[in-house]
Amino acid sequence: MQVYFDNAATTALDKAVIEVMVQAMNDTFGNPSSIHAHGRETKTIVEKARRTVAKLLNASPAEIFFTSGGTEADNMAIVRAIEAYGISHAISTPIEHHAVLHTLEELEKNGQIKLDFLRLDSKGNVDLAHLETLLQQNPRSFVSVMHANNELGNITDIKRIGELCEQYNAIFHSDTVQTMGHYVHDLTQLKIDFITAAAHKFHGPKGVGFLYINSRNKIKPLIYGGAQERNMRGGTENVYGIVGLAKAMELAYAEMEEHQQYIQSLKDYMKEQLLIHIPEVSFNGETEASKSLYTVLNVSLPCTDMGDMLLFNLDIKGVSASGGSACSSGSDIGSHVLRGIGADPKRPSVRFSFSKYNTKEEIDYVVQVLKEICSK
């Protein structure tokens, strides 16, 4: 049996997304920057996609900028906002995705900012009282806190963070890559300056994402070379990726409630079965539905002698999962997120992440495989 439980790393393309991308490939090939009919035709489908994304977010199309994915979008927001506003102090968490963490650390290394990390509890929740203290001490800060952690699944109250940032005149950026397409983001209800997304996290294509820049913010491009994206990102647009992103997001919003209920039932079922069949199992991060991504379950296992071999043994049995973020799988240093919350280094952990294409039968198989591995 082949089981794919690594949907937080990437998701399978929805067939409807493939269809609209293929149709665009067949019907349009002009450069959207060209002024002739072929170019205008392609430009039209790009702008239609932008309007679709903006409408779903309750934003203006002028606030949506297509990128190569979440990493580029995070880098652009962080580097250019700190530069544009002359900010010398940044606040983040030690368990951010490396697209955020490494960017901020590089800016600190270069002497551009002083970086403070927020305190976390044992489950990885952000201490908002600590955030307010830091903002009181450094009112004009750049704050970057992800909406949901990609390894633990913890959801952070970005509405409250946005209110604190507004109160202390701080710039607020949130990496929303893991929640985009899975939760409603009504940007009229959030005090936020920048959010980021990647299409392949919600059944769209890889290599395309977007950056939302609130209209009150004015920053420079990260990539120069052309007037594309209203002079904000040089380079010919990934037209077919953009078309796929918009369709995937449209489908995600239309089917969101149904998928939330179904996938949450899978997560609850797996947790229940693991507790039954592997008594010493525990879970990293939050697992309550209101506090955690319904797509992610981070499992800490008692088979301490397995270590790095656990994922290998799962793979042999046809199970694709991750030891944390996909970006650090196979790394000798392990997960910075699990270290950040003080997880037991002797206990191997696996992140299982689910999608609408998974089934309870797959969970039964994986639980049985884990039971066999841990009993050796």
For residue range 275-296, list pLDDT tens digits in order: 999 989 999 999 899 999 999 9
What predicted TM-score, i.e. pTM, was given to this entire model? 0.95
CATH of the domain at 323: 3.90.1150.10
Q: Domain ends where: 254, 276, 308?
A: 254
Query: Count of domains in the chain?
Result: 2
Asked if 292 contacts 286 with a C-beta cutoff of 8 angstroms, the reply is yes
Phi and psi angles of residue 225, each rounded to the nearest 5 degrees, phi first: 140, -5
For residue range 41-79, list pLDDT tens digits in order: 999 999 999 999 999 999 999 999 999 999 999 999 999
Shared domain check, 335 and 268: yes
- Bridge partner list, 3: 319
pLDDT value at position 259? 97
How far is 42 from 38, CA to CA, in rounded Å?
Answer: 7
Residue in 165, 303, 327, 374 annotated catalytic: 327
Q: Domain ends where: 221, 254, 287?
A: 254
Tell me the CB-side half-sphere exposure of residue 144, using CA atoms within 13 A. 31
Shared domain check, 96 and 28: yes
Domain extent at residue 287: 3-12+255-374
Shared domain check, 8 and 131: no
**Under DSSP, is residue 67 helix (H, G, I), strand (E, B) or coil?**
strand
**Residue holding tokens 């490494």?**
102
Identify the burial level of 326 via C-beta atoms within 10 angstroms of its C-beta, where 0-12 means exposed, 13-18 middle and 19 or more buried.
Answer: middle
What are the C-alpha distances in Å from 43 to residues 22, 39, 68, 240?
Answer: 17, 6, 18, 11
Shared domain check, 60 and 41: yes
pLDDT less than 50: residues of the chain: 325-331
Residue 374 designated active-site? no
Query: Burial code of 126-141, b = ≥16 C-beta within 10 A, e = fewer?
Result: bebeebeebbeebeeb
Q: Domain ends where: 254, 285, 306?
A: 254
Shared domain check, 181 and 81: yes
